[in-house]
Chain A
């Protein structure tokens, strides 16, 4: 096994894209920055609200801030030197290339299934050489043994594929963070696979 310094030396040269800065994106970003990834490109159009704090990596006094600005602030507290390219924008088919084509790996961290599907289809069709780490199914609590990783070529999907969010099945910190960190772990594996 390589040392953490050797791992950081490789990761510091890498760029990871994160589409969405909610429960998945904010927590995944924190783990990637803690691990030493050199640059993140994050896109989200939303603002922090108090209801987000049950699972997202923000703080109460950040309510009302753009998520990308709040996340930049929080990530820089962990790693002042990391490079962060934050985009306050809604990710669409029209801007995916512009946002993410320079990334070594992209993380799908959206909330809505339609957005997930849009990004997955676009990436597999137009940027097939960039690995995409997506997530599906992490609402509620318990049944964590059902969370898994499905791989098909360059596409990885983490989650239980069934726990959809609703009023009666809200997203909660433990399972959302578990899946966000599974995504981060797959990203590390992909970034380090040729190095060691």
Chain B
């Protein structure tokens, strides 16, 4: 499938993948994240069960302390 991950095209060798699997593959390891799938908020409890499919727009934003 082809998706857009953080505004860049990405290819994965699967028809669909969970949000948490994509995080593993792409090594998103920060503790605090904001995840938006097609501009919908995906909460932490739903990372395992939310499937990303061909054409989806996924944004994984790191939140780090400071301000």
Contact = CB atoms under 8 A, between A and B. Distances in A.
**Interaction A to B:** yes
B66 A139 contact: yes
A150 interface: yes
Given A121-B41, A136-B62, A150-B6, A24 B67 contact: yes
B5 to A, nearest CB: 12
Contact of B43 (A24, A121, A159): A121
A153 B34 CA distance: 13
B66 A165 contact: yes
B39 interface: yes
A113 B67 CA distance: 10
Interface string A124-142: 1100000000111111000
Category for how many chain A residues contact B: 35 or more
Majority DSSP secondary structure for residues of B touching A: loop
B25 interface: no
B26 interface: no
Contacts of A36: none
Among B31, B62, B64, which residue has the most Cβ atoms of chain A within 10 A? B64
B1 interface: no
Nearest to A171: B66
Given A150-B6, A152-B59, A157-B34, A164 B64 contact: yes
Contact of B34 (A109, A117, A165): A117
A-B complex: 4 closest residue pairs judged by Cβ atoms: A153-B39, A164-B64, A165-B66, A113-B32
17 contacts: A23-B67, A111-B67, A116-B32, A116-B63, A116-B65, A117-B34, A125-B41, A135-B67, A137-B64, A138-B66, A139-B64, A150-B6, A150-B7, A162-B64, A164-B66, A165-B66, A176-B66
